[in-house]
Amino acid sequence: MRDRIKSVAEELLIKHGYRGLSFRQISELLNTTRANLHYHFGSKDGLVEEVLEDYANRTLDGYRDILTDSRTTLRQKVEAVVRATHARYKTYNTGGDEGEPWSLMIRLRSDSDAITPKMRAKLRDVSREFETLVRVGVRAAIQSGELRPDTPEDQVVVMLVNIIHYAGSVTRDHGTFQRLADLWESTLTTIEKAYGNS
């Protein structure tokens, strides 16, 4: 039951945000009582904190697998990130390009004034971890010779990690995933033209 509750809560949080989530909604969808939800999680905040923790760990595991893979180039890493992001986007945009929210972390950042300090701290921790993982990928590209030794690592990391942080805003504002894919491609092409060895 706990996993079912968390699954429904995650979907509702992504679609409606923190403010739009209620135990009443979840209990109706699962045909259970609000008391049952309180029994498992104590409060809405307790539930959201656990859902965010699980979601963040899954997301970071995926990025870690992609960005620390020593067998792939930076371009291949970016292409894998785009594919993974597109798969998540399609989960919440089943009819094609609808510009619907698809990332829990991006959605909760937009509710930062309403969420708990623990949730805000988790979002900050995840942002730092994203930056660390992107740095691993960029540094590997420099060490392998894919990018020149004089590549400004910090600036390249900032460019790439900010695409990750604001991906949901890009798709929402443009109503299409293609705009996000274009942003990744144009940024990577610019980096390759400026610092690539090929």
Per-residue pLDDT tens listing for the chain (198 residues): 899 999 999 999 999 999 999 999 999 999 999 999 999 999 999 999 999 999 999 999 999 999 999 999 999 999 999 999 999 999 999 888 888 999 999 999 999 999 999 999 999 999 999 999 999 999 999 999 999 999 999 999 999 999 999 999 999 999 899 999 999 999 999 999 999 986
Q: Is 102 within a domain? A: yes
Q: Is 5 within a domain? A: no
Q: Is 132 within a domain? A: yes
Q: Is 4 within a domain? A: no
What pLDDT is stored for residue 182 in this prediction? 97
Phi, psi angle pair for 147, to nearest 5°: -115, 150
Cα dist. 66→44, 62, 103, 104 in Å? 33, 6, 18, 20
Reading phi first (left if > 0) and then psi (alpha if -120 to 50, else beta), residue 175 is in left
Structural domain harbouring 72: 44-195
d(Cα 138, Cα 74) in Å, to the nearest integer?
7
Instruction: Please check whether residue 160 is in contact with residue 85, taking contact to mean a CB–CB distance below 8 angstroms.
Output: no
Q: Is 62 within a domain? A: yes
What pLDDT is stored for residue 179 in this prediction? 95
Per-residue H/E/C for 19-45: CCCCHHHHHHHHCCCHHHHHHHHCCHH
Structural domain total, the chain:
1
What pLDDT is stored for residue 99 in this prediction? 83
Indicate yes or no: pTM above 0.85: yes
Q: Is 49 within a domain? A: yes
CATH number of the structural domain spanning residue 149: 1.10.357.10
Q: Find the distance separating the first CA and the last CA of the chain, reported in whole Å.
A: 54
What pLDDT is stored for residue 158 in this prediction? 97
Q: Is 160 within a domain? A: yes
